[in-house]
Amino acid sequence: MQVLVQPILVFVLLWGESGAVDARPNIVFVLADDYGFHDIGYHGSRIRTPNLDKLATEGVRLENYYVQPICTPTRSQLMSGRYQIHTGLQHSIIHPAQPNGLPLNSPTLADKMKEGGYATHMVGKWHLGFYKQEYLPTNRGFDSYYGYLTGAEDYLTHKRSGFLDLHDNLDPVFNETGHYSAQLFTQKASDVIMAHDSTKSPLFLYLAYQSVHGPLEVPEHYMEQYRDIKDTKRRTYAGMVTCMDEGIGNLTSALKTAGLWDNTVFIFSTDNGGQIYEGGNNYPLRGWKGSLWEGGLHGVGFVHSPLLHKQGYVNRALIHVSDWFPTIVGLARGFLNGTLPLDGFDQWRTISKDAPSPRKELLHNIDILYGRSGSPRYPDTFDTRIRAALRVGDYKLITGNPGNSSWIPPPELQDLRDTTDASTGKPANHPDSDHRLLFRPSDQNVWLFNITADPEERHDLSDSLPEVVQQLLSRLLYYNSTVVPPRFPKEDPNASPGKHGGVWGPWE
Ligand SMILES: *[C@@H]1O[C@H](CO)[C@@H](O)[C@H](O)[C@H]1NC(C)=O
Ligand SMILES: *[C@@H]1O[C@H](CO)[C@@H](O)[C@H](O)[C@H]1NC(C)=O
Ligand SMILES: *[C@@H]1O[C@H](CO)[C@@H](O)[C@H](O)[C@H]1NC(C)=O
Ligand SMILES: *[C@@H]1O[C@H](CO)[C@@H](O)[C@H](O)[C@H]1NC(C)=O
Ligand SMILES: *[C@@H]1O[C@H](CO)[C@@H](O)[C@H](O)[C@H]1NC(C)=O
Ligand SMILES: *[C@@H]1O[C@H](CO)[C@@H](O)[C@H](O)[C@H]1NC(C)=O
């Protein structure tokens, strides 16, 4: 069987490289913003996502998939294939006025795709720095860019703090006020697809939606089917999710119309957990956006493609956002030369054939700038006051201050359980609503979980398995020995768009 297949493969490869037809797949990567683990139809949500559900069900649902707890970090790892401890972006996000960016010392995913002959286009949120021209998407491997550079803004005015942040390549876009970004970005991504000439090159499209990050805004009609959700934020958020889902339906239609769909690998991912104060939810996971609990970093993700050997299944192999870099470059039959050492693994066989993951460990982060917590617990090893988390096989170790430790059920579940107290927005009768019961002494700064057995992080094993804690701490010590100093510069008053024509953009 193998022997028969291989000559055909070789023929296809040679034919592809001769320029007649490029058989390499198109890659379409859609990143949602602040999209919660609970908020997709197939996770049992009240929020309806028919397009996402269909794609995920036909493709491969990634159910042991990890991202970073906040925006810049996930995007930095997607674009670099490298952990934050190796790029200096381990602390917080890039704030608009900070002279900071994804370092220029290693090519981005887009650089590698372009080097491999792909047409490379980006639409949506960048959030990887823009203080100098060199950091803009069109100087980081993208042939074209349409979107915003900061982390959040108004969905209709495309303004942040009163200043415009919407760009068509290097030009500010003043004429799209009132055009809701999920619709605008879907339109722009569809335009890229329709204009793509597949006889010249395959397509790499990175669509980073603004949806469903705050501020909570959506055209009224998307909320209609959620009138029964009493919580206003949750209802608006549900509408935002539905609008994004519709956009993804439109995007896949465009790919079909353009004749690209049958040779496309479509990847969907969130950037981090949902923000419960902005309508998002990650139940039954613990914590939310920003925390090292699973609710912050156990992400929604799936792959759809006719090129998958095995389809329509749930994949439970450990996969991380840093893995997309080598996975996608591998699909493009590119080379990983010229990058600084990658922390990601090529996961195509894992996903396409349900093979075991090459990834045995996952460093969630080490953030030495984050406020320390408690007192050191173990002598001569990693300092447990430092905010860090590491996964080794089934085990996850958390040190320092992981963030708010609550399990927050979605408001609509609360509506069903308790109609009397829903007006306060506070969970009342739910078993998880008494947060006091869940707290250990406040100076606790080490937790150990078997995530495979206990994905909700309800059974801390750190007291019963001190030797496992020690082993994982020594792995953290090792990772800590490889860190580059975190870069978190002061905000620069010269960044103010007031000094640059009222538009956010490079100032150095
Ligand atoms: C804004 O201007 C661009 C470039 O001229 C054009 O393609 C686009 O259709 C305009 N948008 C609106 C809403 O008029
Ligand atoms: C999807 O396409 C329809 C039909 O063109 C359009 O009315 C709708 O606004 C689009 N939705 C999004 C989110 O782009
Ligand atoms: C990587 O290797 C390819 C093929 O040998 C070459 O064309 C390219 O310039 C190299 N890229 C880097 C960044 O070294
Ligand atoms: C982690 O590494 C830094 C140097 O990058 C060092 O200053 C610090 O002491 C190390 N922390 C621990 C707990 O080993
Ligand atoms: C955690 O967040 C919940 C929900 O906002 C809040 O009720 C609780 O007081 C917070 N706990 C701590 C320790 O801040
Ligand atoms: C974690 O829990 C799973 C499920 O109960 C079990 O199969 C596995 O052996 C456990 N892992 C370790 C390292 O104990």
The domain that holds 247 is classified in CATH as 3.40.720.10
Does one domain contain both 352 and 368? no
Q: What does the alpha-carbon distance between residue 34 and residue 96 come to, in Å, rounded to a whole number?
A: 18
Question: In b/e form, how buried is each residue of 151-166, taking b as 16+ CB within 10 angstroms?
Answer: bbbbbbbbbbeebbbb
Ligand having the closest approach to the CA of 181 = 2
- % of the chain residues with pLDDT over 70: 91
The domain that holds 460 is classified in CATH as 3.30.1120.10
Is the model's pLDDT at 427 over the cut of 60?
Answer: no
Does one domain contain both 76 and 188? yes
- For the residues 356-368, what does the mean pLDDT come to? 98
Average confidence score pLDDT of the chain: 93
Question: Do 296 and 290 touch, CB atoms closer than 8 A?
Answer: yes
Does one domain contain both 280 and 374? no
Ligand having the closest approach to the CA of 433 = 5
Q: Looking at the domain assignment, is residue 1 inside a domain?
A: no
Q: Which domain holds residue 381?
A: 363-405+440-480
pLDDT interval class at 10 (50, 70, 90):
very low
Q: Looking at the domain assignment, is residue 432 inside a domain?
A: no
Q: Looking at the domain assignment, is residue 495 inside a domain?
A: no
Please report the atom of ligand 2 found closest to the CA of residue 250: 1
CA of 113 to the centre of ligand 4 (A): 36
pLDDT at 7: 41
pLDDT at 22: 75
Does 175 sit in the ligand 1 pocket, CB within 6 Å?
yes
Last residue within a domain, chosen from 302, 326, 359: 359
Does 253 sit in the ligand 2 pocket, CB within 6 Å?
no
Ligand having the closest approach to the CA of 476 = 4
Does 464 sit in the ligand 6 pocket, CB within 6 Å?
no
Beta-bridge partners for 207? 30, 123
- % of the chain residues with pLDDT over 90: 89
Closest to 365 in 3D by CA, of 140, 110, 84? 84
Is the model's pLDDT at 471 over the cut of 70?
Answer: yes
Does one domain contain both 249 and 385? no
Q: Considering the entire predicted model, what is its pTM?
A: 0.93
CA of 188 to the centre of ligand 1 (A): 11
pLDDT at 415: 74
- Catalytic machinery residues: 71, 127
∠ CA(116), CA(118), CA(120), 5° rounding? 125
pLDDT at 119: 98
Question: Which protein residue's CA is at the shortest distance from atom 12 of ligand 5?
Answer: 404
Residue from 275, 404, 407 to probe ligand 5 pocket by mutation (most atoms less than 8 Å from CB):
404
Question: Which protein residue's CA is at the shortest distance from atom 10 of ligand 3?
Answer: 337
336: exposed, middle or buried (Cβ count in 10 Å: 0-12, 13-18, 19+): middle
H-run or E-run covering 244: helix 232-257
- For the residues 189-209, what does the mean pLDDT come to? 98
Ligand having the closest approach to the CA of 172 = 1
Does 228 sit in the ligand 6 pocket, CB within 6 Å?
no
Does one domain contain both 158 and 108? yes
Does 432 sit in the ligand 5 pocket, CB within 6 Å?
no
Residue from 85, 367, 368 to probe ligand 4 pocket by mutation (most atoms less than 8 Å from CB):
368
Is the model's pLDDT at 102 over the cut of 50?
Answer: yes
Question: Do 266 and 303 touch, CB atoms closer than 8 A?
Answer: yes
Please report the atom of ligand 6 found closest to the CA of residue 454: 2
| pLDDT tens by residue, 13-46 | 444 444 446 789 999 999 999 999 999 999 999 9
Among 366-375, 431-440, 460-469, the minimum mean pLDDT is found in 431-440
Is the model's pLDDT at 437 over the cut of 60?
Answer: no
Is the model's pLDDT at 226 over the cut of 70?
Answer: yes
178: exposed, middle or buried (Cβ count in 10 Å: 0-12, 13-18, 19+): exposed
Q: What does the alpha-carbon distance between residue 383 and residue 477 come to, in Å, rounded to a whole number?
A: 8
pLDDT interval class at 441 (50, 70, 90):
low
CA of 446 to the centre of ligand 6 (A): 20
CA of 175 to the centre of ligand 1 (A): 6
Does one domain contain both 64 and 208? yes
Closest to 248 in 3D by CA, of 468, 40, 456? 40
Q: Looking at the domain assignment, is residue 435 inside a domain?
A: no
Please report the atom of ligand 4 found closest to the CA of residue 481: 2
| pLDDT tens by residue, 304-324 | 999 999 999 999 999 999 999
Does one domain contain both 240 and 331? yes
Does one domain contain both 214 and 252? yes
pLDDT at 18: 43
Number of domains in the chain: 2
- For the residues 199-220, what does the mean pLDDT come to? 98
Is the model's pLDDT at 229 over the cut of 50?
Answer: yes
- For the residues 237-246, what does the mean pLDDT come to? 99
Does one domain contain both 111 and 152? yes
- For the residues 77-88, what does the mean pLDDT come to? 98
Q: Looking at the domain assignment, is residue 121 inside a domain?
A: yes
CA of 210 to the centre of ligand 5 (A): 27
Instruction: Give CA 27 to chain center in angstroms.
Output: 16
Question: Which protein residue's CA is at the shortest distance from atom 3 of ligand 3?
Answer: 335
- For the residues 64-71, what does the mean pLDDT come to? 98
Interstrand relation of 171-172 and 167-168 (parallel, antiparallel or unpaired): antiparallel
Longest dimension (CA), the chain: 70
Does one domain contain both 133 and 152? yes
Closest to 129 in 3D by CA, of 95, 163, 162? 95
Residue 189 token pair: 């991504």
CA of 406 to the centre of ligand 5 (A): 7
pLDDT at 417: 65
